[in-house]
Amino acid sequence: MDYLERYRYPIIGGIIGGIAAIAIFTIGFWKMVLLLILIGFGVLAGLFLQKTGIIEHLKNRK
């Protein structure tokens, strides 16, 4: 559970990237490679949001 709390935004970003990629493409080798790249970008975006604290700042602003 600590792992999920610690990496919440990267996990969410990866899931969103994966869902977007699956929704756009059908499965094939090169499309699967693109799927993995998009998931990686989603994870990186989640890590960036976690590192900068943008989401926490917006949540605490209310």
Asked if residue 14 belongs to a domain, the reply is yes
Q: For tokens 């935004």, what's the residue?
A: 9
Residue 62 falls within a domain, yes or no? no
Query: How many domains does the chain divide into?
Result: 1
Look up the domain containing 19 and give its range.
Answer: 2-53
Report the number of secondary-structure helices (H) and strands (E) in the chain.
Answer: 4, 0
Q: What is the pLDDT of residue 5?
A: 83
- Answer yes or no: pTM beyond 0.75: no
Tell me if 25 is assigned to some domain: yes
| pLDDT tens profile 12-62 | 999 988 887 887 776 777 777 788 899 899 999 999 999 998 888 888 886
Structural domain includes residue 58: no
| Ramachandran area for residue 25 (φ above 0: left; ψ -120 to 50: alpha; else beta) | beta
Pair of tokens at residue 30: 């090169």
Q: Answer yes or no: is 60 within a domain.
A: no
Q: Is residue 59 part of a domain?
A: no
Residue 61 falls within a domain, yes or no?
no
Whole-angstrom distance, CA of residue 5 vs CA of residue 21: 25
